[in-house]
Amino acid sequence: MTAETLTAVVTGAASGIGQALAEALHARGARLVLADVNADALSTTAARLGATGVVTDVSDPAAMHTLAAQAPQARLVCLNAGVVGPSLGAPWEVPPEEWDRVFAVNVSGVVNGLRAFVPQLLAARAPAHVLITASLAGLAVFPGGGAYGPSKHAVTAVAQHAAMALADTPVRVSMICPALVATGMSPEGIAPALVADDALRAVDNGVFAVVPAEWQAAVATQVDEIVSGRQPTPPAPWPAG
């Protein structure tokens, strides 16, 4: 995908991974259409990067269609917006309204993005890419975590479904599944810029999923526990070194 002619859309672009993706794409010379629900932060980021900013609630299907109408030439769509939610306990400890909000942003935000953008990407009959921000928590189940982990499991399923459905078209799908990232969601973790670099490398190389190497065995172990009928156990990364 040539950066000189690339128009890219990034949701959740005013902070965290989304902002890092926008910065990395700007450095490549891409034309940017950035979306976020935070109008002030979006305006600041868009002005700094010379981008078009569109205030967007990704949980609103109409808002996502409006965003798509602002970027008819988009060839890369980064569906990145997400929230954690304040409750990090067991499923029954999370209030109903929190389940609704987390799933509305994290899952419906991706589905609304696919519904808004994929038809126009297909209509263009040219190579294009959808990049979905999932999470390690969407591949491995951790104790607690509230609604976030289950929502990201749904996101990884949607990403796989979309990739299969688009297999015989010019539109490709990639998803990134980072562990802890130092964003507004977490004070700890790796720098968002590193995640953005890995994500765009996956787009460049046509890679479907990016999973941290130190967690890959843990993901496989949990799948093995399921298919063998064993009780699930908390995942752990490979030891450093």
Q: How far is CA 12 from CA 38, 42, 139, 142, in A?
A: 9, 9, 22, 25
Distance CA 241, CA 230 (A): 29
Is 116 within 8 Å of 61 (Cβ atoms)? yes
Backbone angles phi, psi at 181, to 5 degrees: -125, 135
Catalytic (active-site) positions:
148
Token pair of 24 as six digits: 């990395």
One-letter amino acid at 215 equals W
